[in-house]
């Protein structure tokens, strides 16, 4: 599928992987619709893309709010018509030790990381072109467990299950559905997780980073641009025969 003038929706695009994915698809000729609940970052991303000559539509949207998602998707279809690419990238990460009181973190992470993916896909599909592409950003935490991150792991496992179910359901329309499962990516969210873990273990940030890298076969973190490259492959003509997959990009940290 050529990306020239294709309408591509990318959620959580104010920074990090989402922003890199939006830029990559824009460079390949797509018209880009981006959303995020971070207004300042979203406006900055949109301004920079527009200044570079790319066609971009930006709207503040919390994907855990079905009404906001409906308004965003309606704005995209009203402006540009049929959607051909949806990248469900918006997500959050927080610790939630199981014995800590309160359920707020559990509900917050499931609402954003899993229900948000459902909302965006459910609302976008009536405006989707047959032969389109859907990519969900999961995580290697969708394949393995991490102590004290049960909500994050459960939400990302759920994204992979949703991916496989939708791949079967949408195959008759020629729509592929895949998940991308990054390991440690150089983003502000990953840095916050490292800082929190380092604080709890009484380590410096550099010591914590070194420990993480020692457990990665290639000894490096992933760049957001590398994740964007994989997403581009999946939505390009080269990815037309790939569906229902959960593709790792983790420098060898997870092999499955």
Closest CA to 227 of 177, 175, 187: 187
Alpha-carbon Rg of the chain, whole angstroms?
A: 18
DSSP state letter for 252: T
- Distance of alpha carbon 97 from alpha carbon 130, whole angstroms: 43
Handedness of CA 38, 58, 31, 65 (dihedral sign): positive
149 is catalytic: no
Using CA atoms, how far residue 200 sits from 148, 152, 193, 210, in Å, is 12, 18, 11, 16
DSSP state letter for 125: G
Which residues are marked as active site?
Answer: 152
């Amino acid at each position: 599928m050529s990306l020239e003038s294709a309408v591509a929706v990318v959620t959580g695009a104010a920074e990090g992987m989402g922003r890199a994915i939006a830029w990559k698809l824009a460079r390949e000729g797509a018209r880009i619709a981006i959303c995020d609940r971070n207004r300042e970052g979203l406006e900055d991303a949109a301004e920079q893309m527009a200044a570079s000559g790319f066609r971009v539509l930006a709207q503040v949207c919390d994907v855990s709010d079905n009404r906001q998602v409906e308004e965003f998707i309606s704005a995209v279809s009203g402006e540009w018509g049929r959607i051909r690419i949806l990248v469900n990238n918006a997500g959050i990460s927080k610790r939630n030790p199981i014995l800590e009181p309160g359920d707020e973190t559990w509900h917050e992470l499931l609402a954003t990381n899993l229900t948000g993916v459902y909302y965006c896909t459910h609302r976008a599909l009536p405006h989707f072109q047959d032969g389109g592409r859907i990519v969900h950003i999961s995580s290697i935490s969708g394949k393995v467990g991490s102590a004290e991150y049960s909500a994050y792991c459960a939400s990302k496992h759920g994204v992979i299950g949703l991916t496989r179910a939708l791949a079967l359901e949408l195959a008759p329309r020629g729509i592929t559905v895949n998940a991308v499962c990054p390991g440690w990516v150089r983003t502000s969210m990953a840095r916050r997780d490292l800082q929190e873990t380092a604080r709890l273990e009484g380590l410096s940030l550099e010591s914590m980073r070194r420990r993480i890298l020692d457990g990665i076969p290639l000894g490096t973190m992933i760049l957001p641009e590398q994740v964007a490259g994989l997403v581009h492959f999946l939505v390009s003509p080269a990815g037309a025969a790939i569906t229902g997959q959960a593709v790792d990009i983790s420098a060898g940290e997870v092999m499955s």
